[in-house]
Structure 1
Amino acid sequence: MTTISLTFNLLPNSSDHRHAFHFIRSHRRPIGRNPSRRPRVRVYCESKTEETQIRRCSPFLESELLSGDGVLASREWKAVPDIWKSSAERFGDRVALVDPYHEPPTNMTYKQLEQEILDFSEGLRVIGLKPDERIALFADNSCRWLIADQGIMATGAINVVRGSRSPVEELLQIYDHSESVALVVDNPELFNQIAETFCSRAVIRFVILLWGEKSCLASEVMNGWPVHNFKEITDLGHKSRIALLDSHDARQHYIYEAISSDDIATLMYTSGTTGNPKGVMLTHKNLLHQINNLWDIVPAVAGDRFLSMLPAWHAYERASEYFIFTYGIEQVYTTVKNLKEDLQRYQPNYLISVPLVYETLYSGIQKQISTSSTVRKLVALLFIRISLAYMEFRRIYEGKYLTKSPKQRPYLVSMLEWLWARIFSAILWPVHLLAKKLVYSKIHSALGISKAGISGGGSLPSHVDRFFEAIEIKLQNGFGLTESSPVVTARHPTCNVLGSIGHPLRHTEIKVVDSATDEVLPPGMKGIVKVRGPQVMKGYYKNPLATKQALDDDGWLNTGDIGWIAPQHSVGRSRHCGGIVVLEGRAKDTIVLSSGENVEPSELEEAAMRSSLIRQIVVIGQDQRRLGAIIVPNKEEILVVAKNLSILDADASELSKEKMTSLLHDELRKW
C-alpha cells in the first residue's frame, strides 16, 4: 500500500489554532471486489493547537508594539505606566531617584527608570505572568519596589501590595483572598520568614526577590518553587524586548491589547479591626485622577527634591510618587532612623508624610529649645509666642479664619476688625522678622522643607499646625482614604487655612449628611462626610456586601468621618474659607457614656499629646460612667520631671509605677 500524506492548513488566517488533516489513499486492489471501483480514501484528522498568547500593554508606554498590531497609538495616558514614557522624553537624563540605603546604592535617571520598568515587565511575561492575574508584592519602599509595581501594572496583571513587617498570617490571608498566583518579596529574610507557612497553605507559581541573593535562602523552605532575583527578571525581559522589537516574526506569536483605564490596577487591603480582609479595587482611572490633579496642591517643578519615607504600599505615598515623577523631580529614599540626618543632608523642597512625623519634628525642636541655656530658652519661647500672635492677626485680615456660623458680620464691623488686625500685625511684624533671623533660620537649615510639608493619613494636631505656621514652614493638610485612591481634599498653597483639610480636588464632590436621615446638611452643620469622584474605588474584591455598605447607587462613598463645610462669606475674617472642609473625628470613634453624653475622644487625645510626658494616648469609656485612658508614657521626660520635682534622686534611673501614674494624672489635669 502506498500512502500519500497531504497537510492542509484550513484556517490560514487564524492565529489561535491550526489543524492538520491527513488523507491516506490505498492503491491495493481489494480481493473479490469490482476492480473498476474507485480506490478507498480514509481521512483522519490530527488536531495540533498552537496557542497564541495575548499580551496586554500600557498604551503609550509600549506604543511600538501596539501600533504594529492594528491598535492606534495615543499620547494620552490610559494606564498608570504610560507616565514613564512621557517623563523619559521630557526629563531623560535628570536624576529621578536616589536610594542610598539598599545594596547596591542606586541613582537612576528618568530614561533608565523607564527601561528598567519595561525590562521587568517583559521579564514577568517571559516567566508566565498573564493579564488579569494577581501577583503579591510584599516589600518596603525602595527604587525596586517602584519598578516591580509599575512592571506588574504594565503587563495588565494586578498587584496585591503589603509591607514586610505585616504578620505572616496576615500576608497569607491577603495572598489567599486575592487569589494571587505568585510572590514578589523584599529580600531573602522575608522569604525565609514566611516560606514555612506559605509552603503548606499556598499555591505559588514562582517567587521573585527584589533585593539579596538566592544563596541566602534556607534550602529547607524552597519547596521546589522557581525563584528569580531582580536582575534575572530584568535580563530576561531585556533580551525578549530586543528580540520582539528586532523581529516581525517574533511578534506574530502574540496578540496585543491595550490596557483600559477601567481595568483594575491594584488591590490594596485595608487594615480593619474585624479580621475580614477588604481588598480595595483601584483602577488605572482612579490613580490617574490623582496624577492629573495633585499639582494644584503640590506645584512641583523639575529639579525639586522630595524625601520619601512612608510605606509605598500605602495609597497616600503611592499616589504621591506617581504624581511627582511626572514633573521631573528627584526623589530620595530615607528611613525613620535616618530622617533627621537626611533632612539636613538633602535639604528637600517637599516632605510628604503623616502627622506623627511632624509631631516628632515638633517635639525634637521643643526639646532642643528646652535644653538650651536659660536666656536662649526664654528668648526663643518669647519669639514663638509673638509669632503665634502675629500669624493669628494675619489670618484675620487675610480672611482665612474658620467659622461655622453662616451669619455674616456687618460690613462696618468686618472693616474695623480688618483694620484692627492689620495694625497689631504691623506692630508684631518687626519682632517676627528678628525671630526668623535669629531662631527660625537655624530650624530651617536643619529641616530643609523649603516649599512645604504635606500631611495626610491622619489628624494634624492644631498646636503642631500653628507652630510650623509661626516659624514659617508651610504645612498643608489633606484628607483621603484608600477607597478614594486616596486624596479627596487638601489645603492649597495660596489658601492654607489652619484647622481644615482644604478644598475638594478637581472633579470631586463633597457633601455632609445627617447620620440618621441621610439628608444633606447646610454649610456649618456637622454630619457624615460623603465623597464622589473619578478617584472612588471600583469596590471591595469579592465582597459585594461591604461594597454596598460603603458605596450607594449614585456613587457616593461614605467616609465614616464627621465634619462640616465652611459657609460662604463675602467679607470679613472668613471670606476666603467658603467651601473648605473641616473634620472633627470618626463617626465610629464617638464615645457614648452611660449618662447619654457623646464625647469626641480625638479632641481630648490631641490636647493630651501636647505634653512631653505622653507618647501616645487612647481615650476609652464606651457605656461607662466616666472616661478613662490608656497611656504610653515618655519615660525619659518623666524621669527628668521627677528629678526636678525632687520626687526622685538625681542618680536614680527608675520610677515606680505609682509615682509615674501620679505624675501623668497631674499632667492630664492641666489639659
Structure 2
Amino acid sequence: MLTHNNLLHQVHNLFDIVPAVPGDRFLSLLPPWHAYERACEYFIFSLGIEQVYTNIIHLKDDLREYQPQYMISVPLVFQTLYSGIQKQLSTSSAIRKLIALSLIRISMAYMEFKNIYEGKCLSRNQKRPSYIAAILDWLYARVVAAILLPLHLLANKIVYSKIHASIGISKAGICGGGSLPVHVDKFFEAVGTKIQVGYGLTESSPVVAARRPHCNVLGSVGPPIRHTEIKVVNEETGEDLPPGSKGIVKARGPQIMQGYYKNPIATNQAIDENGWLNTGDIGWISPVHSVGRSRNSGGFIVLEGRAKDTIVLSTGENVEPEQLEEAAMRSSLIQQIVVIGQDRRRLGAIIVPNKEEIMLVSKKLSGSDSDAVELTKVKIAGLLSEELRKWTSDCSFQIGPILVIDEPFTIDSGLMTATMKIRRNQVMELYKEQIDDLYK
C-alpha cells in the first residue's frame, strides 16, 4: 500500500532531479494509473505549469507543435525517437548522410573524453588510481576534447539544431520504468539532448535513485535520492557486498510501501524486518574515488538486469539476456526481441522483425525494385541471424536459433507491461511449442 506521505516525499525529491520553473512545458507518454506518472503529475501540478499528454501515434506531431522543455516517458519511447531520427538521416542524400553520421561519431568521441576529464565515468575497481596516472589521463582527455570541440560545435549548428527544432526537449527527457540502451543514451548526449534516467518500483512509489542535471553519468541510474539508502547483497547468503560487487539491489527509505494489501506473506518476502525492500534487480554501486575519471560518480547505481530473468543454460552458465537484447536492438531490422534458452544448451531468440526495413534490405540484395519480393520466414531468419552476429559480436554469448513471429508484443495482448516492458515469461509460455520445435 502506498500512502499520501509516500508520494509527497517523491514530489519533494523531484525538485532536486527536475529543476523546472513556471513557463516550462512537460510532455508525458505515461499511463495515468502508473505510480511513475502519478508522482510526476503531482510534481508538475505543484508548480502550476503545463502538462501535455500524448501517445506514440501523435508523438512526432506533438513534439513539433508543443516544443516541450521536458518529456516524461519510458525507454521504449526514447528508442522510438532515436530510430525515427536514424531513419530520417538514412533517407538523406549520400553526402548528407555521410556528413551527419561522421559528425555524430565525432560528437560521441568528444563527449566520451569530456566525461573522462570531468570525472563522470563508471568504474567497478575498488582500488584508487594513482595521482600521476589520473593527471596524465585528465590531460590526455582534455587535449583530445579540445581538438574535437570545434567539430562538435559545427555539428550542433548544421545537424543537431534541426533535431532540436523537431523534438524540442530543450532541458531534459525524464526516463524511467526500464533500462535505457547505452547507444541511445550516448546518441542523445552527443546531440545535446539530456536524458535523466531514474530507477524505482511501484512498491517504492516509485523513485529510489535518479541522475541529476549537473552530474548525468551515462550507464547509471544515478545516486539514491534524499533520505534513501541503497545496498547490494549476495543473492544466496544475503550478505552485504562492497562497492563494485554485483548482487541483488535493496532499498530503504520513507517512500517504501507499507506492504501488499491484505497479503502479509508477500509483504514479508519483499520487505525484511529492517525495512529493506528487495527490488529483485541485479546491480552494483560505483566505488568512491577522490581522483581519476570516476571521481564524481562514486555511489551511483548501475543495473544489469532482473534476477528472475537470468537464463541458466544446461551447461551451467548464467546469462543476463538484457545485454544481448540491448545490443540486438541496435539493428534497424529488429523491432522486438526476447532472448531464450533456459535449460537449453545454447541461446535462442524470439524476434518481431521490422518488416519495412527487412523489405528494403531484401530488395537491395536481390537487385529488384518490385514489391513482390518473396520473403519467407526462413529468409527473414537468415537476415536476422547476420544482424545478430554483427551487433552481438562483443557479447560473451551468441544467439543461435531464431523464432520469427509476425505480431508485435503489445499492452493489449498482455505481453507488455504498462511501462512497455516485455513480459518475458508470458511470451515464452505463449510460444512454448514453437520454442520446443526450434531446439529439435
TM-score class, shorter: 0.7 to 0.9
| Partner of residue 287, structure 2 | 567
Paired AA for residue 377 in structure 1: K
User: Equivalents in 2 of 1:634, 1:329: separation in Å?
Assistant: 38
| Partner of residue 394, structure 2 | none
User: Aligned to 2:339, what secondary structure does the other structure show?
Assistant: strand
Match of 1:630 among 350, 356, 359: 350
User: Equivalents in 2 of 1:637, 1:517: separation in Å?
Assistant: 48
Match of 1:467 among 183, 187, 194: 187
Paired AA for residue 412 in structure 1: I
**Offset of residue 654 of structure 1:** 4.7
Are 2:109 and 1:389 aligned? yes
**Offset of residue 397 of structure 1:** 0.2
1:128-277 equivalent positions in 2, closer than 5 A: none
**Offset of residue 666 of structure 1:** 1.2
| Partner of residue 489, structure 1 | 209
| Partner of residue 304, structure 2 | 584
Count how many residue pairs are aligned between Structure 1 and Structure 2. Answer: 391
User: Equivalents in 1 of 2:135, 2:8: separation in Å?
Assistant: 44
User: Aligned to 1:539, what secondary structure does the other structure show?
Assistant: coil
Distance 1:337 1:651, change over 3 A: closer
2:172·2:194 contact (CA, 8 Å) conserved in 1? yes
| Partner of residue 537, structure 1 | 257
User: Equivalents in 2 of 1:433, 1:318: separation in Å?
Assistant: 38
Are 2:55 and 1:340 aligned? no
1:585-664 equivalent positions in 2, closer than 5 A: 585-646=305-366, 650-652=370-372, 654-664=374-384
1:35-434 equivalent positions in 2, closer than 5 A: 281-434=1-154
User: Equivalents in 2 of 1:287, 1:653: separation in Å?
Assistant: 55
- Between the aligned residues of both structures, percent identity stands at 72
1:440·1:471 contact (CA, 8 Å) conserved in 2? yes
1:300·1:329 contact (CA, 8 Å) conserved in 2? no
1:400·1:574 contact (CA, 8 Å) conserved in 2? yes
User: Equivalents in 1 of 2:207, 2:235: separation in Å?
Assistant: 23
User: Aligned to 2:2, what secondary structure does the other structure show?
Assistant: strand
**Offset of residue 335 of structure 1:** 2.4
1:303·1:328 contact (CA, 8 Å) conserved in 2? no
User: Equivalents in 1 of 2:53, 2:280: separation in Å?
Assistant: 33
1:4-23 equivalent positions in 2, closer than 5 A: none
**Offset of residue 661 of structure 1:** 1.1
User: Equivalents in 2 of 1:497, 1:663: separation in Å?
Assistant: 35
**Offset of residue 332 of structure 1:** 1.4
**Offset of residue 409 of structure 1:** 1.2
Distance 1:422 1:344, change over 3 A: same
1:524·1:564 contact (CA, 8 Å) conserved in 2? yes
**Offset of residue 516 of structure 1:** 1.0
1:457·1:480 contact (CA, 8 Å) conserved in 2? yes
**Offset of residue 309 of structure 1:** 2.2
2:334·2:354 contact (CA, 8 Å) conserved in 1? yes
1:401·1:573 contact (CA, 8 Å) conserved in 2? yes
Are 2:157 and 1:437 aligned? yes
**Offset of residue 648 of structure 1:** 5.6
| Partner of residue 92, structure 1 | none
User: Equivalents in 1 of 2:296, 2:45: separation in Å?
Assistant: 32
User: Equivalents in 2 of 1:653, 1:313: separation in Å?
Assistant: 45
User: Aligned to 1:670, what secondary structure does the other structure show?
Assistant: helix
Deviations 1:4-44 (A, max 9, x none): xxxxxxxxxxxxxxxxxxxxxxxxxxxxxxxxxxxxxxxxx
User: Aligned to 2:283, what secondary structure does the other structure show?
Assistant: strand
**Offset of residue 649 of structure 1:** 5.3
Select the structure with the greater relative contact order (CA < 8 A; seq sep ≥ 6): 2
**Offset of residue 328 of structure 1:** 2.3
**Offset of residue 650 of structure 1:** 2.9
Distance 1:307 1:653, change over 3 A: farther
User: Equivalents in 2 of 1:377, 1:649: separation in Å?
Assistant: 22
**Offset of residue 670 of structure 1:** 0.8
Paired AA for residue 307 in structure 1: L
User: Equivalents in 2 of 1:542, 1:504: separation in Å?
Assistant: 29
Are 2:237 and 1:512 aligned? no
User: Aligned to 1:504, what secondary structure does the other structure show?
Assistant: coil
User: Equivalents in 2 of 1:302, 1:637: separation in Å?
Assistant: 43
User: Equivalents in 2 of 1:538, 1:572: separation in Å?
Assistant: 41
**Offset of residue 460 of structure 1:** 0.3
**Offset of residue 647 of structure 1:** 6.7
Deviations 1:552-602 (A, max 9, x none): 111110000001010010011000011111001000111110111010100
1:355·1:460 contact (CA, 8 Å) conserved in 2? yes
User: Equivalents in 1 of 2:14, 2:361: separation in Å?
Assistant: 45
Match of 2:171 among 430, 448, 451: 451
1:561·1:587 contact (CA, 8 Å) conserved in 2? yes
Deviations 1:119-174 (A, max 9, x none): xxxxxxxxxxxxxxxxxxxxxxxxxxxxxxxxxxxxxxxxxxxxxxxxxxxxxxxx
Higher-Rg structure is: 1
User: Equivalents in 2 of 1:470, 1:323: separation in Å?
Assistant: 29
Q: Does 555-564 or 644-653 show the bigger shift?
A: 644-653
User: Equivalents in 1 of 2:122, 2:367: separation in Å?
Assistant: 44
2:284·2:302 contact (CA, 8 Å) conserved in 1? yes
User: Equivalents in 1 of 2:371, 2:51: separation in Å?
Assistant: 46
1:509·1:531 contact (CA, 8 Å) conserved in 2? yes
User: Equivalents in 2 of 1:653, 1:346: separation in Å?
Assistant: 41
Deviations 1:65-100 (A, max 9, x none): xxxxxxxxxxxxxxxxxxxxxxxxxxxxxxxxxxxx
Deviations 1:286-323 (A, max 9, x none): 11111111111101111110012210111111111101
User: Equivalents in 1 of 2:54, 2:358: separation in Å?
Assistant: 31
Structure 2: runs of 5+ lacking an equivalent: 392-440
Deviations 1:182-230 (A, max 9, x none): xxxxxxxxxxxxxxxxxxxxxxxxxxxxxxxxxxxxxxxxxxxxxxxxx
**Offset of residue 456 of structure 1:** 0.3
Deviations 1:618-637 (A, max 9, x none): 00111110001000000100
**Offset of residue 646 of structure 1:** 1.2
1:639·1:654 contact (CA, 8 Å) conserved in 2? no
User: Equivalents in 2 of 1:651, 1:305: separation in Å?
Assistant: 44
Paired AA for residue 291 in structure 1: V
Paired AA for residue 129 in structure 2: R
| Partner of residue 222, structure 2 | 502
User: Equivalents in 2 of 1:445, 1:555: separation in Å?
Assistant: 47
Structure 1: runs of 5+ lacking an equivalent: 1-280
RMSD: 0.9
User: Equivalents in 2 of 1:390, 1:308: separation in Å?
Assistant: 31
